[in-house]
Amino acid sequence: MSDTIRLVVDGEEVEVPTGSTLLAATARAGADVPTLCHDPRLDPMGSCRMCLVEVEGQRRLQPACAYPAMEGQVVHTSTDRVERHRQVLLSMYCADHTLDADGLPAERALGNQLRAHVEAFGTGPTLPPIGTPRAGREDPNPYIHFDPDSCIACARCVRYCDEVEAVSAITLAMRGSSTTIATADQVGLLDSSCELCGGCIDTCPTGAMSEKRALGLLGADEETVRSTCNFCGVGCQLDLHVRDGEVVRVSSPPPGTTVNDGNLCVKGRFATEFINHPDRLTVPLIRGDDGELHEATWDEAIRVTAAGLMGVKERYGADALGFVSSSRCTGEENYLVQKLSRAAFGTNNCHQCAAT
């Protein structure tokens, strides 16, 4: 079997690896097929029907995210039939959603792909609201808020929790239009196997899963700063969302763009309060003859530290010293600590805490 196949998308011939989905092939052709339940890290589910496209020879429209690309296929991503389908589908989603004054799916939290699709493609006939009461639930966990009225039951959060985190803390519950997200036995997330990674927030296409502390931040002017997490040595990339000089929330760069592939742990995503904490040291402190700590410059602090270490070496020999570096440092910083130990002080007593 050949490693690649050729097909035609919107009149353009494209070549993709054998086993690709139609979505990958349409992307290769530069077509922007809308999706909701698709996440490149997850097995395709094909549940939301947002990505349907026309394949010549097929009676029905087919879900691009789940349908295999095949040699010689001819695919159309924006025919009248496809556009009509998108509008009717979005009408149905709107009938089952809380709408704002403009008739758009209400933006309860930052990031709402459903709302963006309604704005981009419009809706078809206005359908009467379904109005199914969904079980709301108060969850005392400090980080994750779930809004059942914004949920489209796409199961991205459930599949992420299962397939990426291997935790399976949440599941689809109930049936039909009452379908919602719950934990086993309806316990709160803190009493479940949830690790509070927050990945369900990032993958949710409607904001139904959202970050509690960011709930009031809709429309806020934010600056986004790409940074490296400092909680361990993996080097996950973070997007810090900054307002008025303070980090108000953290998200991951999109899947496929950085080493952490769109994932973060509880510390990287939520543990940011230390950044502006008043107890945090911002200048070096040196204990004076009076026994008290006094603010100093970095030059003074380095001079005092070096003199102390040299004094120990002169009195007891270099092997009386030991250098331990941290897994929170970068590889380059750890290299410099062993260099300091061996080249500057002449001892091999150097270690890194993650090496044990």
Can you give the binding site for ligand SF4, defined by CB under 6 A?
Answer: 144, 151-157, 160-161, 165, 167, 169-170, 181, 189, 194-200, 203-206, 208-209
Cβ distance to ligand FES smaller for residue 155 or 265: 155
The partner in contact with residue 155, picked from ligand FES, ligand SF4, none with C-beta cut-offs of 5 to 8 angstroms by kind, is ligand SF4
Residue the block writes with tokens 């704002």: 100
Q: Please tell me whether residue 241 binds ligand FES under the rule CB under 6 A.
A: no
CA angle 56, 93, 150 (to 5 degrees): 135
Cβ distance to ligand SF4 smaller for residue 89 or 194: 194
How many positions of this chain bind ligand FES (CB under 6 A)?
12
The partner in contact with residue 9, picked from ligand SF4, ligand FES, none with C-beta cut-offs of 5 to 8 angstroms by kind, is none
Q: Please tell me whether residue 111 binds ligand FES under the rule CB under 6 A.
A: no
352 within 8 A of 334, measured Cβ to Cβ: yes
As a three-state string, the secondary structure of the chain is CCCEEEEEECCEEEEEECCCEHHHHHHHCCCCCCCCCCCCCCCCCCCCCCCEEEECCCCCCEECCCCECCCCCEEECCCHHHHHHHHHHHHHHHHCCCECCCCCECCCCCCCHHHHHHHHHCCCCCCCCCCCCCCCCCCCCCCEEECHHHCCCCCHHHHHHHHHCCCCCEEEECCHHHCEEEEHHHCCHHHCCCCCCCHHHHHCCCCCEEEHHHHHHCCCCCEEEEEECCCCCCCCEEEEEEECCEEEEEECCCCCCCCCCCCCCHHHHHCCHHHHCCCCCCCCEEECCCCCEEECCHHHHHHHHHHHHHHHHHHHCHHHCCEEECCCCCHHHHHHHHHHHHHHCCCCCEEEHHHC
Task: Give least dist CB 21 to ligand FES, A.
Answer: 9
Q: Please tell me whether residue 118 binds ligand FES under the rule CB under 6 A.
A: no
Task: Give least dist CB 148 to ligand SF4, A.
Answer: 8
The partner in contact with residue 5, picked from ligand FES, ligand SF4, none with C-beta cut-offs of 5 to 8 angstroms by kind, is none
Task: Give least dist CB 346 to ligand SF4, A.
Answer: 48
The partner in contact with residue 197, picked from ligand SF4, ligand FES, none with C-beta cut-offs of 5 to 8 angstroms by kind, is ligand SF4
Cβ distance to ligand FES smaller for residue 53 or 214: 53
The partner in contact with residue 38, picked from ligand SF4, ligand FES, none with C-beta cut-offs of 5 to 8 angstroms by kind, is ligand FES
The partner in contact with residue 269, picked from ligand FES, ligand SF4, none with C-beta cut-offs of 5 to 8 angstroms by kind, is none
In single-letter form, the type of residue at position 241 comes to H
Cβ distance to ligand SF4 smaller for residue 76 or 86: 86
Residue the block writes with tokens 């040291």: 281
Distance between CA atoms of residues 184 and 177, nearest Å: 20
Over the window 2 to 41, marking each residue x when it contacts ligand FES by CB under 6 A and - when it does not, the resulting string is ---------------------------------xxxx---
Q: Please tell me whether residue 113 binds ligand FES under the rule CB under 6 A.
A: no
In single-letter form, the type of residue at position 248 comes to V
The partner in contact with residue 196, picked from ligand FES, ligand SF4, none with C-beta cut-offs of 5 to 8 angstroms by kind, is ligand SF4
Cβ distance to ligand FES smaller for residue 36 or 144: 36
The residue from 53, 65, 181, 208 that contacts ligand FES (CB under 6 A) is 65
Cβ distance to ligand FES smaller for residue 51 or 236: 51
**Residues near ligand FES (CB under 6 A):** 35-38, 46-51, 63, 65
